[in-house]
Amino acid sequence: FAGSAAAPASRPVGWLFVVFLCAGPGLVPVAFVPLRAFCGLVSVALLMRATDLLGEKTPRPLSVRLAHSLSVADLRLAARVEPTFNAKLLADGLARAAIGSLALWFACTTPPALEPATVAVRLFLGVIGFYLAFEGIDRTAQALYLLGGMRIEATQNSPILSKTLAEFWGQRWNRIVHRWLAETAFAPFARRCPKFGLLLAFVLSAGIHLMIVMPALGGWGAVAMGGFFVMHGLLVMAERFLRVGRWPVAWARIWTLLWIILTTPLFLEPFLGLSGYPWMLDAVRAGA
């Protein structure tokens, strides 16, 4: 799959390989839910790398394309440095990833229920766990790339400090995916119809997350996950109309945090369902 993402140098042939990448999770037996989800994640990553390469006017050497396809970070933006062992950064990343994974494990082992206490516990553990795990992976990746003599861009930029949803998605959360969405969906419409380009970017974000969730959980999980991103696209447009960016900082942060908390179950429940726990799969597939 990585080779197929890197091999095409011409666009007509390249897009055939992209279609092949999208079909990857379907090759895994249905019973292996976590593995199907993981293969969906890998397919999305390779799809993004392939479209990066196909968007360039001058094809890079095959070795460079293959390295880019296998990289977690965007190597086009990486800087060559002296190999460095940053023990503090590595330890911080591993600690965050471990604590976040533990919180996610407890969230996964808590059966879904409508009792307020259970909902609150699952939401708290899931949000904290996902946030810390993602931050930990980001820091660990930076430390490992430094060992190899490359400085990569930080994926996260303190998302908790966001004052608006536009700032959260556009500047602070998963900037690798944001850049890809901006180049792929927003940029072509930025001059003529920026609002359409903005909404299209969120729809495309919903689509790549469907590639992860749909093969593993089926329709209901995919609808919830996709709905989360489409809803946030509409909310970003609404906050621009309401000029939330000009509100007092405290009120703007309340707006941002409130909508993230209210909509997070649409993302979190399918995500936790990817763990493969029977009661969670039953609840997600039934649309609970």
Angle at 14 between CA 13 and CA 17, to 5 degrees: 100
Closest CA to 275 of 73, 94, 125: 125
* Residue 146 to residue 113: CA distance in whole angstroms: 44
Q: Coil, helix or strand for 79? A: strand
Q: Coil, helix or strand for 58? A: coil
- Return the structure tokens found at 205: 């974000």
Q: Which amino acid would we find at residue 16?
A: L
Q: What is the SS3 assignment for 144-193?
A: HHHHCCEECCCCCCCHHHCCCHHHHHHHHCCHHHHHHHHHHHHHHHCCCC
Q: Are 152 and 145 in contact (CB under 8 A)?
A: yes
Q: Coil, helix or strand for 6? A: helix
- 37 DSSP assignment: H
* Per-position pLDDT tens, the chain of length 288: 556 555 555 555 556 666 666 777 777 777 778 888 888 888 888 888 877 877 777 777 777 777 887 888 888 888 999 999 999 999 999 999 999 999 999 988 877 666 778 788 888 999 999 999 999 999 999 999 999 999 998 899 989 889 999 999 999 999 989 988 998 888 888 778 888 889 999 999 999 898 888 888 877 788 889 999 999 999 999 999 999 999 999 999 999 999 998 999 899 888 888 876 665 556 555 544
